[in-house]
A and B are shown apart, each in its own frame.
Chain A
């Protein structure tokens, strides 16, 4: 069965520090999709990035960057020069293609989330 683990429950940093949020996943499918979502204190879920299993290129978007490594089943998220507005819960999620059978086709399996607090 698919599984997503975010081992860091809470991270606290001071503004302008860089911070990396870890995500490790398990799947038997060869085709799958990985996502990061942000949940600010207001409660909504904001989509940040999607990566498919065949594309291991790292991606940078402004202060955000993502490192996808199939060899270690990891999809880590780095915020450079963190800001107070980055304070939120960040979720990593996995969606499977369903090749290995089972009933996981399409649904998102979320990690437990990492609470990031950025202090001024």
Chain B
């Protein structure tokens, strides 16, 4: 499609439950990025993919976070055993190239952990 599509828009989970977020990149874009925005302002990079391969995972918390981009499926970000501090807006972005081309962002998924 012409836009990055993120689902769901809102996700509410109890502490300790699993959360799974989805992202369909713009058609033809090879790179997918996940970012976490907390407190409305601060962005934290989580992970990037080149097609279905992990490109950079230096921002991913090792223990509870995982992500995949499989062929012919939306990319996904999964958080196991959620904690209160996981509450944030999670943005997915896609781009044609890894640095020069701009990253186009989805509308985000607001994750609320109760």
Contacts and interface: CB of A to CB of B under 8 A. Distances in A.
A35 B48 contact: no
Contacts of B108: 43-45
Contacts of B107: 43-44
Contacts of B104: 47
B102 A35 contact: yes
B43 A108 contact: yes
B41 A113 contact: yes
Given A43-B107, A50-B102, A103 B58 contact: yes
Contacts of A113: 41
Contacts of B91: 45
Interface of A: 32-33, 35, 37, 43-45, 47, 50, 52, 89, 91, 95-98, 103, 105-110, 112-113
Interface of B: 31, 33, 35, 40-43, 45, 48, 55-56, 58-59, 89, 91, 93, 98-108, 110
27 contacts: A33-B99, A35-B102, A35-B103, A43-B89, A44-B105, A45-B105, A45-B108, A47-B102, A47-B103, A50-B100, A52-B100, A89-B40, A89-B41, A96-B99, A103-B56, A105-B56, A106-B48, A106-B56, A107-B45, A107-B48, A107-B56, A108-B33, A108-B45, A108-B93, A108-B103, A112-B41, A113-B41
